[in-house]
Amino acid sequence: MFRWLLVGSFILLATQMAVADDFRSLLEKRAIKYADGILLYRLMKPENYDPKTQYPLVIFLHGMGERGDDNDKQLLHGVAEFAKDENRKKYPCFLMAPQCPMTTTWADFGNQFKKEPTPAMKLLLEAISTHVKELPIDDKRIYITGLSMGGFGTWDAIARKPELFAAAVPICGGGDVKTAERIAKIPIWVFHGAKDNAVKVERSRSMVEALKKAGGEPKYTEYPDVGHDSWVPAYKDADMFAWLFAQKKK
């Protein structure tokens, strides 16, 4: 009896894992080559894709642990929420999930904004430009979000191209408060866990305060009992999805 229960448990677990991984088939593996290197990424097209319709573009930036060259690990956290049936039906969009090579990061982790982007960020910004030209993307609805290292990357990207993005959702990241004036007009919703020991919550708090002083109106959600994985509740937040896709550049 115990043996059959054990076998049944393994079958159930395998089935659950297969269902959980189903979303990966929605994201086509791609690579784009520029003079400075190659960017690996996954691209999800809108449900019931119509090439004559313009769609929003969401850029998803993964964390430090998902760097590499397998073009798969970057889907570990967060992406599955965007690929859920209910969200694809409510918010049809292109989703671009690039993978950062092991030799670089999306942004510098310090408190100072660097004049030159990291190699990965440079490739990403080029790739966004290419996709806007080649796909039916609504250039008034380009969004960017990321967690941990990707949160830092989100702050970095909007500081480099504030005119490009309609909204940003940086999660457990940080930026340079001196960039607040140039990004104050961008709708931003920041998430962080108060018990985060990897990226201190002060990194998000300081950016939010700097934005307010610069005349911005950022939204901020701080989870009092959550550590570094604040992306779990953030990407499950239906209000966040509704808010993000409601943003549009004037």
C-alpha–C-alpha distance, residues 200 and 69, integer Å: 29
* Domain hosting residue 43, numbered range: 26-246
Look at residue 62 in the predicted model and tell me its pLDDT: 98
d(CA 71, CA 31): 9
Do the domain assignments include residue 11? Answer: no
Residue 227's CATH number: 3.40.50.1820
Name the residue among 129, 128, 139, 95 with its Cα closest to residue 248. 139
Sign of the C-alpha dihedral computed for residues 189, 211, 159 and 137 taken in this order: positive
**Residue 137 φ/ψ, nearest 5 degrees:** -105, 135
Report the domain count for the chain: 1
Digit-coded pLDDT (tens) for 88-132: 999 999 999 999 999 999 999 988 999 999 999 999 999 999 999
- What is the phi-psi region of residue 215: left when phi exceeds 0, alpha when psi lies from -120 to 50, beta otherwise? left
| 19 domain residue, yes or no | no
Would you say residue 3 lies in a domain?
A: no
For residue 24, with 0-12 CB atoms within 10 Å meaning exposed, 13-18 middle and 19 or more buried, which class applies? Answer: middle
Residues comprising the chain, all counted: 250
Asked if residue 13 belongs to a domain, the reply is: no
The answer to the question of residue 223 being in a domain is: yes
Spatial distance between the Cα atoms of 202 and 190, rounded to a whole number of angstroms: 12
Residue 10 has a pLDDT of 39
109 in a structural domain? yes
Per-residue pLDDT of the chain (250 residues; tens, 9 = 90+): 334 333 333 343 343 444 455 889 999 999 999 998 999 999 999 999 999 999 999 999 999 999 999 999 999 999 999 999 999 999 999 999 999 999 999 999 988 999 999 999 999 999 999 999 999 999 999 999 999 999 999 999 999 999 999 999 999 999 999 999 999 999 999 999 999 999 999 999 999 999 999 999 999 999 999 999 999 999 999 999 999 999 999 8
Give the residue among 190, 195, 207 at the shortest CA–CA distance from 145: 190
Residue 186 CA: distances (Å) to CA of 163, 164, 250? 9, 10, 11
| The predicted structure's pLDDT at residue 36 | 86
Q: How many Cβ atoms are within 10 Å of 15's Cβ, its own excluded?
A: 10
For residue 108, what are its two tokens?
């510098």
> Is 21 part of any domain?
no
pLDDT at 21: 58
